[in-house]
């Protein structure tokens, strides 16, 4: 749809599917899966390099060209606002002044549930420093609104726990978040299969960010294509406006008159 634009921090995107680059067999598979998904925004993690080891190892950046994709450096693995801020400052230096980032501050290594208190504090500092912050958070509508009010450019509530594939556990919270928001709402984490992505889009989410649902599928490339279609299909269904549900009352699709008697 020509007029249905997806705008993040002043830039238009054609694809409403955002994908991670982790957990693939190799860089080639990462590359092919991302191509197949049609995603334009891809997340990357920032980690220490192996000093003096693997000197000829290939780099992710060689397979996912910066000219073709918008990089979204994340703060995965950060459990405090200071670690998250530090990581994203390094990311900005690494990516030549790139300001669009994904902030996540985790609260606990078992559930990877976000620590929203630290997240809010980190977001304030990062926004002051000129970052465009897309923020991973819980599906709490109050926190989501606070993060928007601080100035985050996209709010990314979880569908369920990171990497769990449990799907959308609280669609009604997502609806409240969507209804209250003036910035894009992107479901991040927990999507397991295509129907989960469709549901997120039908609820009115502006996009979905996923990694494991594609990378951990038996055939990641096939799943990447399935997710592309799911996102498009869900968006179209949302825009089309679904029919009202009629409980316990059928309504025939064929004429009730002219029946052969």
Interacting residue ranges for another protein, rule: CB under 8 A: 20-24, 27, 30, 43-49, 51-52, 55-56, 59-61, 71, 73-74, 76, 86, 89-91, 93-95, 162-163, 209-212, 215
Residue with smaller CB distance to another protein, 3 or 59: 59
Residue with smaller CB distance to another protein, 49 or 218: 49
CA dihedral over 134, 199, 113, 228, signed as positive or negative: negative
Q: How far is the CB of 76 from another protein (least distance, A)?
A: 5
The token pair at 147 is 């993060």
Q: How far is the CB of 256 from another protein (least distance, A)?
A: 53
Q: How far is the CB of 208 from another protein (least distance, A)?
A: 12
Residues noted as catalytic: 102
**Integer Cα distance of 34 and 8 in angstroms:** 19
Residue with smaller CB distance to another protein, 55 or 243: 55
**Integer Cα distance of 174 and 190 in angstroms:** 13
Residue with smaller CB distance to another protein, 155 or 202: 155
Q: How far is the CB of 7 from another protein (least distance, A)?
A: 23
* Dihedral in degrees, nearest 10, Cα atoms 198, 202, 205, 209: 0
Residue 112, Ramachandran bin (φ over 0: left; ψ between -120 and 50: alpha; else beta) = left
- Cβ(157)–Cβ(131) below 8 Å: no
- Cβ(228)–Cβ(36) below 8 Å: yes
């Amino acid at each position: 749809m020509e007029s249905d634009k997806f705008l993040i921090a002043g830039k238009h995107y054609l694809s409403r599917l955002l994908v991670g680059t982790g957990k693939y067999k190799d860089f080639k598979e990462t590359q092919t899966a991302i191509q197949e998904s049609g995603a334009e925004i891809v997340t990357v993690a920032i980690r220490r390099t192996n000093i003096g080891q693997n000197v000829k190892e290939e780099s992710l950046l060689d397979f996912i060209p910066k000219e073709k994709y918008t990089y979204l450096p994340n703060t995965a693995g950060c459990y405090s606002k200071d670690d998250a801020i530090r990581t994203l400052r390094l990311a900005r230096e690494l990516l030549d002044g790139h300001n669009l980032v994904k902030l996540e501050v985790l609260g606990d290594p078992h559930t990877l549930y976000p620590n929203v208190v630290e997240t809010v504090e980190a977001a304030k500092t990062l926004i002051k420093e000129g970052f465009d912050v897309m923020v991973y958070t819980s599906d709490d509508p109050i926190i989501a609104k606070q993060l928007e009010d601080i100035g985050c450019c996209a709010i990314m509530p979880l569908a369920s726990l990171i990497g769990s594939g449990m799907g959308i556990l609280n669609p009604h919270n997502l609806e409240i978040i969507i209804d209250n928001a003036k910035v894009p709402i992107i479901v991040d984490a927990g999507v397991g299969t295509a129907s989960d992505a469709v549901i997120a889009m039908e609820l009115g989410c502006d996009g979905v960010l996923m990694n494991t649902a594609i990378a951990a599928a038996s055939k990641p490339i096939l799943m990447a294509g399935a997710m592309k279609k799911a996102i498009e299909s869900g968006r179209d269904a949302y825009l089309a406006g679904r029919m009202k549900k009629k409980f316990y009352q059928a309504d025939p699709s064929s004429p009730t008159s002219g029946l052969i008697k």
